[in-house]
């Protein structure tokens, strides 16, 4: 049975050492039914793909293909010192109407699914056990701290949450000793409002653009360590230090193939996680996140483009692109060895107007970046 469905068979694949497989065979004597079958239909074993710097390829001049990137100190930082300045009277949230529960319901602790809020199970407290609001407030404070990765501020946050719940969360002030109010804490709307409101307001107060940065270090693409990916389509590049290029989408692989064929491109690289290049930014929720651009493109020894390709946009994409633009300005202002430029290529535009070379790509798409970042007037 598969997640409560009788029409779907569920299988467990067992993989192990010869000794372990002997043990698995031995449990047949205890009535366990086992069968052997091939993994896949008419397929041999799937071999992982190793991505590494192509040092053994004598046809590649790795130093010439290599790309150098500066690592800048974080520009988006959290200032923990001013958490005590959090003004709960100014929180912008929808106030919640208090629900009235029966005496039996007031003794219940309701556990809900995190994703959809559906009731998972309910525990009924013994009449000798008296719930207390301190535990509930403490839970909310700890949840907020965990999600925002805050430390050493529990006492301050506990007091702020308590005051917010007591005087501002509901349509009218409440008595936290009231069992009916404590039972309201189990409702998804209440929990979500408390946690999400505090996260948003704390981020607004503490996450700041410090307005300056400096070069902390430099990295080379050729310093990337080998890594393994699952079986997928790949490109065998001549213009990259890597032995293979795999993409997170068909569009990325198509774009890599385009770069490979451009006469005005010296080299390029996919920004794999093992390159360790990321840019800090403030996401749509106001939290600090990290952004991994898709490609690096070397035009000559003095000019490198950082390229983001995008199929479907999400809320964070304009913020990422604006931050990438700022990163390039910072990098160019802090060093003069290489000029870094940004490029944003949307698949919708790519499918309509495919360029013949990289220069045409820059000419066509570089002029559209500003327009792309503008919010819709509708």
Q: Tell me the per-residue pLDDT of 105-149, one tens digit each, with 9 for 90 and over.
A: 777 666 554 444 565 455 555 555 566 888 889 989 999 999 988
Task: Identify the three-state secondary structure at position 279.
Answer: strand
Q: Please give the Cα distance from 137 to 343 (Å, whole number).
A: 47
Q: Please give the Cα distance from 325 to 336 (Å, whole number).
A: 17
What tokens were used for 9?
Answer: 């068979």
Q: Looking at residue 183, what is its pLDDT? A: 86
Alpha-carbon distances of 14 from 34, 37, 171, 275, 338, rounded to whole Å: 10, 11, 56, 34, 53
The distance of Cα 218 from the centroid of its chain, to the nearest Å, equals 24
Burial bucket for residue 323 (CB in 10 Å: 0-12, 13-18, 19+): buried
Q: Looking at residue 117, what is its pLDDT? A: 54
First vs last C-alpha separation in the chain? 49
Alpha helices in 83-153 (DSSP H): 103-106, 133-148
Q: Please give the Cα distance from 347 to 4 (Å, whole number).
A: 40
Q: Looking at residue 80, what is its pLDDT? A: 73
Residues of the chain with pLDDT under 50: 1-3, 113-116, 120, 370-378
Task: Identify the three-state secondary structure at position 11.
Answer: coil
Q: Looking at residue 30, what is its pLDDT? A: 54
Q: Looking at residue 127, what is its pLDDT? A: 54
């Amino acid at each position: 049975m598969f997640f409560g469905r009788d029409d779907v068979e569920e299988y467990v694949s067992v993989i192990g050492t010869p000794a372990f497989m002997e043990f698995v065979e031995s449990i047949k004597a205890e009535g366990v039914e086992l069968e052997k079958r091939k993994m896949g239909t008419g397929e041999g074993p799937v071999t992982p793909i190793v991505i590494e710097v192509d040092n053994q390829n004598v046809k590649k001049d790795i130093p010439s293909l290599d790309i150098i990137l500066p690592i800048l100190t974080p520009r988006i930082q959290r200032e923990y010192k001013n958490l005590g300045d959090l003004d709960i009277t100014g929180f912008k949230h929808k106030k919640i109407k208090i629900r009235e529960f029966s005496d039996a319901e007031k003794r219940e602790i309701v556990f809900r699914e995190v994703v959809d809020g559906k009731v998972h199970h309910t525990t009924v407290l013994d009449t000798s056990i008296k719930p207390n609001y301190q535990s509930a407030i403490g839970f909310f404070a700890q949840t907020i701290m965990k999600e925002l990765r805050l430390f050493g501020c529990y006492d301050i946050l506990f007091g702020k949450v308590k005051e917010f719940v007591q005087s501002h969360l509901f349509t009218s002030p409440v008595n936290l000793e009231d069992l009916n109010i404590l039972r309201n804490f189990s409702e998804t709307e209440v929990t979500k409002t408390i946690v999400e409101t505090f996260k948003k307001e704390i981020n607004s107060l503490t996450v700041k653009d410090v307005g300056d940065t400096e070069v902390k270090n430099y990295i080379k693409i050729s310093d990337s360590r080998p890594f393994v990916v699952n079986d997928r389509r790949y490109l065998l590049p001549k213009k990259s230090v890597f032995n293979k290029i795999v993409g997170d989408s068909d569009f990325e692989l198509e774009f890599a193939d385009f770069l490979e064929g451009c006469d005005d491109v010296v080299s390029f690289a996919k920004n794999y996680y093992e390159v360790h290049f990321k840019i800090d930014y403030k996401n749509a929720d106001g939290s600090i996140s990290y952004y991994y651009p898709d490609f690096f493109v070397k035009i000559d020894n003095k000019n490198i483009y950082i390229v983001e390709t995008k199929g479907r946009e999400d809320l964070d994409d304009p913020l990422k692109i604006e931050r990438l633009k700022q990163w390039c300005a910072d990098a160019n202002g802090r060093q003069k060895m290489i000029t870094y430029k940004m490029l944003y290529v949307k698949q919708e535009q790519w499918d309509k107007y495919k360029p013949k070379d990289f220069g045409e790509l820059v000419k066509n798409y570089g002029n559209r970046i500003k327009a792309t970042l503008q919010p819709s007037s509708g």
